[in-house]
A = this chain, B = another copy of it.
């Protein structure tokens, strides 16, 4: 039986091995269906086999390591899925995604080593397409597992014109067998994922792990404010219809509304802004800016958008400008199942750790997996909230505690299965 520190040390070593498998030159870049993805998938398969799992690749390239049930019970035909992804962004860190795959393998290995009996099977999954960098689509591999893949996604082309379908064949996958990758709902118990937080909340709270309440839904808008250009010297303040000054007021409304949604972990960001004509001595006539707004549930996010629309119109009316909002992206909230949150909370309690719950502001494979089964996620503290960057970092201790918490959560699910007659 390994201590959390030993599990963390092993996780660190495995992440270092994976990080060496890259398409990049001197950095970690591993896009879906690339040679580095193939090498990483094979490497993961090797670890899985060493852990005694029955290993296979599904039609979309997802690595699947199966452990059979070891205890009797009516959940014997069910499978607990544990996973994450092994693709990366360009010039990535080594934890995002990979930690969840490594944690799954270590947990299964350790459950076996400790002689813990489970009345359900466990499948560890290593997805290949979570970042959505290579093709203009994302979550293709987890969507196939969840049975919700949009067939036209296979026709997507990368920047070199390579069609996803053809890249999949070259990888060793089978675009004609996509439906075979899907699990049946009745055989699936739940999906669990360990992931670095990619934000600063746990670090600020001084906690190694946190329990995810939902994967935040998000809406993105392009907002256009039209005013009137004018000479910066000759138009008095009271006679201006300054599109940028109006935008400044709208931006503060956005902050204000997002802060008021703190209980729903609301965040709102203006990331891009362009003012025209853009001359030092001309009053701006037109501003286009983006709004990205997220919350832990759909209702508060949609209410905040409605509130912002009202406020924008009031600002525009008062200032004699016009405002139009165009939504160009929306994804609904993925709630994490309360019973799975409780399993992680119990695990944290077992380890004498705080029970911090938080929403995930970033997207994850769980967003697709929710179409198939209940989703539970455990976040691991990362330094300064930095991710998608070589500076991405989680400590050995924190990673070890996360693996231990995952083991304890699986034990709790097994106990629940026993006490509820497998109706978990």
Q: Identify the A interface with B (CB < 8 A).
A: 197-201, 204, 216, 218, 220, 230-239, 242, 244-245, 247-249, 251-252, 255, 258-259, 262, 265-273, 275, 278-284, 290, 292, 294, 360-363, 385, 387-388
Contact = CB atoms under 8 A, between A and B. Distances in A.
Contacts of A284: 270-271
A251 B242 CA distance: 11
Of A236, A275, A388, chain B has the most CB atoms within 10 Å of the CB of: A236
Contacts of A292: 232-233, 280-281
A266 B200 CA distance: 43
A267 B216 contact: no
A232 B361 contact: yes
A275 B288 CA distance: 12
Nearest to A379: B234
Considering the complex of A and B, which 6 residue pairs feature the smallest CB-CB distances, nearest first? Answer: A233-B361, A199-B234, A248-B251, A232-B269, A234-B361, A248-B248
A362 B220 CA distance: 41
Given A231-B198, A231-B385, A272-B279, A245 B255 contact: yes
A409 to B, nearest CB: 22
A249 B270 CA distance: 14
A271 B267 contact: no
Of A234, A247, A248, A249, chain B has the most CB atoms within 10 Å of the CB of: A234
A316 B405 CA distance: 41
A279 B292 CA distance: 10
Contact of A280 (B248, B279, B290): B290
Given A231-B388, A232-B271, A237-B258, 7 more contacts: A198-B234, A216-B233, A232-B292, A233-B294, A236-B265, A271-B278, A273-B275
Given A198-B231, A199-B231, A245 B259 contact: no
B234 A362 contact: yes
Contacts of A230: 199-200, 385
B265 A271 contact: no
Contacts of A385: 230-231, 234-235, 239
Given A237-B255, A245-B255, A283 B265 contact: no
A237 B272 contact: no
Nearest to A254: B245
Nearest to A292: B232
A374 to B, nearest CB: 22
A266 B284 CA distance: 18
27 contacts: A199-B231, A200-B230, A200-B236, A201-B236, A220-B281, A231-B361, A231-B362, A231-B385, A231-B388, A233-B362, A233-B363, A234-B360, A237-B266, A237-B267, A238-B259, A238-B262, A239-B385, A244-B273, A245-B252, A245-B270, A247-B248, A269-B281, A269-B283, A270-B284, A271-B283, A272-B279, A272-B280
